[in-house]
Amino acid sequence: MFAAATKSFVKQVGDGGRLVPVPSLSEADKYQPLSLVVKKKRCFLFPRYKFTSTPFTLKDILLGDREISAGISSYQLLNYEDESDVSLYGRRGNHIVNDVGINVTGSDSIAVKASFGIVTKHEVEVSTLLKEITTRKINFDHSLIRQSRSSRKAVLCVVMESIRTTRQCSLSVHAGIRGEAMRFHFMDEQNPKGRDKAIVFPAHTTIAFSVFELFIYLDGAFDLCVTSVSKGGFEREETATFAFLYRLRNILFERNRRVMDAISRSQFYLDDLFSDYYEKPLSMSDISLKEGTHIRVNLLNHNIPKGPCILCGMGNLKRETVYGCFQCSVDGQKYVRLHAVPCFDIWHKRMK
């Protein structure tokens, strides 16, 4: 009956689907802010998740004894009184009957009355908590962490807000025929046929809560998943390996792009040199045949094999030549290879 009432409360209050009804009155005190719960998917046939309470708080699974400084704010949310008529042939009606054990002989519906009164909302200061967890690490030796880590379906969550009652509250149900006036009795002795049931629970009982999932990295750091898009869980070894390979791929791609840009720029530079040469042509005697100038020679006559031209033989285009100059040297080599025309004259024109 308590579970049915909290589900009805969450359905009517809404909050964008973030609120979760407390499933049991006996566990209501375990869904306080900063408490830890385990979220697990039932199976592929049931899209909803099951939340299981734990006796631990966020501080219990962190390294060190320092307390969490994030505060908790409270304010009144609403005054909740609900009376509804539930058909016995629906899923909710069947759930209430099985939960309460009410006598439904000759009845086709159940009248449900929930009197929560004024309820308050208690929520963690998210911004303060986010700043604090940047310097904290998860203790992987904690029993809850070990058990959750071994299950791929379990996700650890921290309770970020809870909704509580402020006074003693009552829940009552009555089985009857649709259209009858509702009758509620708080003592079973007054109703020997068992067609009415009622419970009373104390003030400050949690009836709903919301959580943020935790994503825990291999080094013990963790993140709060503050949006529904981000998902919690544990970083796996294969996930870390894939991330490393992805970063390595990006680094190699960027390096290759820079090399290709450099080759492209050098090619443009050579094109400018050659275009300048052809726009302002020089005769073969302008430089090479003057007295005291460098002389082009056939390197094969000096037992030097054919090789790439120092000007146009670099990069992707391996243009080779047998000619060169002994009066020039590059990188400790006592000669340079240069095409007879136009590279020889362009090289020495630039040297001037």
- Give domain limits for the chain: 1-183+191-255, 294-351
Contact, 165 vs 116, CB < 8 A? yes
C-alpha R_g of the chain: 40
Please answer whether residues 179 and 133 qualify as being in contact, where contact means their C-beta atoms are separated by less than 8 angstroms.
no
Residue 291: how many CA atoms within 13 Å on its side-chain side? 0
- Which tens digits make up the pLDDT trace of 37-93? 998 876 655 557 888 899 999 999 998 888 887 888 999 988 888 877 666 665 655
Token duo for residue 86: 């539930």
**CA distance linking residue 313 with residue 319, whole number of Å:** 4
* Nearest alpha carbon to residue 115 among 239, 11, 207: 207
Helices (H), the chain: 2-13, 91-100, 126-133, 143-150, 237-279, 343-351
Query: Contact at 8 Å (CB) between 10 and 137?
Result: no
Partners of residue 47 on adjacent β-strands = none
Tokens 């979760």 appear where? 20
CB 1 within 8 A of CB 198: no
Decide: pTM greater than 0.95: no
Question: What would the pLDDT profile of 276-332 be if each residue is shown by its tens digit?
Answer: 544 444 444 343 444 457 888 998 888 989 888 888 776 566 688 889 998 888 877
